[in-house]
């Protein structure tokens, strides 16, 4: 049985694109980066922690047959990890820093089962257009930046902020489908 350890509607939507049958697990994993942790190591660890937390929620009988998917996606600029904005001021500050610049989006996916764990990641490069204060204010007022790493949603109005994408659209959205499909195939889950 396949499980997704995420309440993200975007991740559910993306996993459905793979024609996978799965159930959703609600996990709560602290997302704090250690001082010595690189952004990539941080994203890998959080994705792995989510998969392991999901596996731990299952009963012993279910755990033996389960594969749990955990994922994490973060925006990185100048070595700083931009998580989800805490409030309006935080969202505005993030968008100001991203304006007119290219940042990385690191998206990691991890599978956990009773017998094995494996993971993969992709790094995309996203260049924002130069944003004026009115555009930033209007976008933040839309409410879309909240609950999104880096304060934007590529699949929504945030697409109008993006001048160029090099990499994985689904990875920026929250679940890198190419890497996810490869990992599932590796553990014997065939997709349509």
The DSSP annotation for the chain comes to -EEEE---HHHHHHHHHTT---EEE---------TT--HHHHHHHHHHHHHHHHHHHS-HHHHHH-EEEEEEEEEEETTEEE-S-SSHHHHHHHHHHHTT-EEEEEEEEEEEESS-EEEEEEEEEEEEPP--HHHHHHHHHTTTTTTSGGG--TTTGGGGGEEEEES-HHHHHT--HHHHHHHHHHTT----
Is 78 one of the catalytic residues?
A: no
Q: Of 72, 80, 87, 90, which residue is the catalytic one?
A: 72
Which positions are annotated as active-site residues?
Answer: 72
């Amino acid at each position: 049985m396949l499980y997704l350890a995420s309440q993200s509607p975007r991740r559910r939507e993306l996993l459905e694109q793979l024609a996978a049958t799965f159930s959703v697990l609600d996990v709560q994993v602290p997302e704090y980066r250690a001082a010595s942790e690189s952004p990539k190591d941080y994203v890998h660890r959080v994705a792995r922690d989510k998969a392991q937390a999901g596996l731990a929620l299952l009963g012993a009988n279910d755990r033996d047959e389960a594969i749990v998917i955990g994922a994490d996606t973060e925006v990185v600029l100048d070595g700083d990890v931009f998580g989800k904005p805490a409030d309006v001021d935080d969202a505005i500050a993030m968008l100001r820093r991203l304006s007119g610049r290219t940042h990385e989006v690191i998206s990691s996916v991890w599978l956990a089962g009773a017998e094995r764990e494996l993971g993969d990641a992709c790094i995309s490069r996203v260049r924002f257009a130069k944003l004026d204060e009115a555009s930033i204010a209007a976008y933040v007022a839309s409410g879309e930046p909240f609950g999104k790493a880096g304060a934007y949603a590529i699949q929504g109005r945030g697409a109008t902020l993006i001048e160029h994408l090099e990499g994985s659209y689904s990875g920026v959205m929250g679940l890198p489908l190419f890497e996810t499909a490869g990992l599932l195939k590796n553990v014997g889950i065939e997709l349509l």
